Amino acid sequence: MRKLLLVFFIIFQSCSQISNRFAPKIGVIEINSVKDNALKIKIDVETSEGADAYIQYWTYTNTAQTDSVISYSLISREKNLHHFMLVDVNLNTKYNFNVVVQKKSLKRNSKTYDFSTTRKIPWVPYYRNTDSISNVKFDGYLHFHSRQIPGYLFITNGEGKLASYYKNEDNFKVSKWTNRETLLGILSNDTLHFTNGKKIIEYDKFGNTLLEIETGKDNIEHSFHHEVDLDENGNVMTLVYNERIMDLSAVGGTKTDTIKGDGILVLNHKKEVVWEWSVFDVMNPLDDKTILKSKKDWLHANSLFKDKQGDYYVSFRNISQIWKINGKTGKLIWKLGGTDGDFIMPEDAVFSGQHNIRINENNELVLLDNGNLRFKPGFKQASNRIKMLDINAGSQSRLLTISLDTIQMKAKAKDIVPFPKKYFTHSQGSAEYINDSLVVFCSTNTNRIVFTNKNGNVLGNMPLEYSTYRVQYLKALYDTSYVK
């Protein structure tokens, strides 16, 4: 009987160790810097065969080290060699971390280690390190870029701290965080033009290049401008320039005049054209009385959006108009704004020189109304005397939400956030809601990212060293709901 007890004791002992013994094991954990990027931390982990693994890392928010903010890497599943890249770390910060491995319900944490990030990266042209947004904390991130050579894409967190950056030897004109958690940019090797370039690049969030499309290669002749994004199928959609040679002698031009107009180009990741559209398909330049003046940049498309039904929306600055275009046939569905729009517009909904258009979840149109009087429908400067003064001296940019009644063909301004006049941006820029009480406004002309409440009162701002075409709010960089 004593023997039996001993055996049971041993069985019990071994059972209690079984979960520990059976839990997947952790071998070498290797942590390394990434060349040319101070905010990417590479961690490779060796585990037992077929295990899931992730990194949890945290900073203490008080000196007693009782409160912490924990972040998680992506999860790596069913492997024995796991490669992680931490893409959400701040400069000059000490992080504690451990590796968590799991297989079925058996889980193991490694010992706790730590690493510290680089103190400063002064060659990154960033915003000035001020306390200017200490009153503006929010969940999520902002994405913007820096228009200089070398170019940078940035992601900052809700405290205004730099969380990630991506560098390119060329200059980012426009960039976008996509629905597939990748970053798209239009690149150019000059710093003269604001928003067009001859190359599109796509990075994954770890900084690896996924796709490069170049004008003049792969049978693509167009150059790209103002917008690049992925559609719901993961195809790249962008605005392009289309040149047409036309006889403009009837309006005082030459018989072979060149008109530079806009188009939409949709490409898959094999760089094959999936869909194409040109402004010349739906509008005749000869119908535009000012064509001789505007032929070098005819309507100036500056924003593109595709809705859930698959139709496109294009914003044209020069005519202060937004067009809805059938995503299959390319036919013009309606025109909003400008002098010949299809909707009845109350005065407070009239926009001019607008940017950054999209349809929100309530099926309303949201946009930055730059308020540039130069493009205001029907606006005429009064006299020579007034002409001496800046036409936009009293102008104001607004975040505008418009509800559209497409039966009665009536537009209505649903929400208006007027921004302070001193941050007026006559060109470029963006504005969107971060949450119900916080709005982010990119005032490109004043090199500022401005935060306001719903009434447009300033809560904080981030001064930028170099301008960005727009600023985009991101709820999260990736899904971490696997953590239970």
Partner 1 sequence: MIEKKLIRVTTYCMFFICLVTLNSCSDDLEEELKGQLSESNISTESDATALIDGIYNGLLAGGWDYYASGVLARATDGITDVFILNDSKYRPLETYDWSDEDISADLWASIYTVVDRANWAILLIEGIDETAFKDVSREQLIAEAKFLRGLAYYDLTGLFGSVPLKLEPTQSDEVGLARTDLEAVYVQIEADFEYASTYLPGKSYTPGKASKGAAYGLLAKTQLRQLKWEEAGANIDNLIALGDYNLFTESNFLELFYESNVLDDEFIFSVMSLGESYSTASNHHLKFFTPWGYDTGWATVGLPVGIYNEIESEDERNEVYFEEYPYLYGGAIKNAIDDFGFAINRKFGSYNRDVTAPGTGYVAYQNYGISKMSVPVLRYSDVLLLKAEIENELNGPNTDAYNAINQVRNRSGLANLTEGLSSADFKAAVLKERAIELAGEGQRKDDLIRQGVFVSTLNQYALDQGYSVTITKDYQLMPIPRTELDLNPNMEPNPSNNF
Asked if residue 22 binds partner 1 (CB under 8 A), the reply is yes
Asked if residue 111 binds partner 1 (CB under 8 A), the reply is yes
The answer to whether the beta carbons of residues 334 and 324 sit under 8 Å apart is: yes
Instruction: Pick the closest to residue 441 from 337, 367, 340, 374 (CA basis).
Output: 367
Q: Which amino acid is at 259?
A: I
CB of 95 to partner 1, least distance (A): 10
Q: Take residue 472 and report the two structure tokens written for it.
A: 């985009």
**Closer CB to partner 1, 118 or 363, in the complex:** 118
List the one residue from 58, 113, 275, 280 that touches partner 1 (CB under 8 A).
113
DSSP state of 423: G
Residue with tokens 């392009």, as numbered in its chain: 240
Q: List the Cα angle 51/53/55 in 5-degree steps.
A: 165
**Closer CB to partner 1, 77 or 119, in the complex:** 119
Stretch that binds partner 1, among 21-29, 218-226, 279-287, 326-334 (CB under 8 A): 21-29
CB of 26 to partner 1, least distance (A): 5
DSSP line for 353-374: S-EEEEE-TTS-EEEEE---GG
Other C-beta atoms closer than 10 Å to the C-beta of 12 total: 10
Asked if residue 310 binds partner 1 (CB under 8 A), the reply is no
CB of 168 to partner 1, least distance (A): 10
Q: Take residue 272 and report the two structure tokens written for it.
A: 């094959």
Q: List alpha helices for 200-332, DSSP H.
A: 291-294
Of 115-134, binders to partner 1 (CB under 8 A) are 115-123, 125
Of 188-217, binders to partner 1 (CB under 8 A) are 191-192
Residue with tokens 């030897």, as numbered in its chain: 169
Where does residue 134 fall: left (phi above 0), alpha (psi -120 to 50 degrees), or beta otherwise?
alpha
Stretch that binds partner 1, among 301-309, 344-352, 353-361, 382-390 (CB under 8 A): 382-390
Asked if residue 446 binds partner 1 (CB under 8 A), the reply is yes
User: Could you give the string, one character per residue 149-188, with x where binding to partner 1 holds by CB under 8 A and - elsewhere?
Assistant: xx------------------x-------------------
Asked if residue 26 binds partner 1 (CB under 8 A), the reply is yes
- Distance between CA 158 and CA 188 in Å, rounded? 30
**Closer CB to partner 1, 149 or 292, in the complex:** 149
Of 385-444, binders to partner 1 (CB under 8 A) are 385, 387-388, 390
β-sheet bridge partners, residue 108: 101
3-state secondary structure of 397: coil
Residues forming the site for partner 1 (CB under 8 A): 3-4, 7-8, 10-11, 14-15, 17-18, 21-22, 25-38, 41, 46-49, 110-111, 113, 115-123, 125, 148-150, 169, 191-192, 384-385, 387-388, 390, 445-447, 465-467
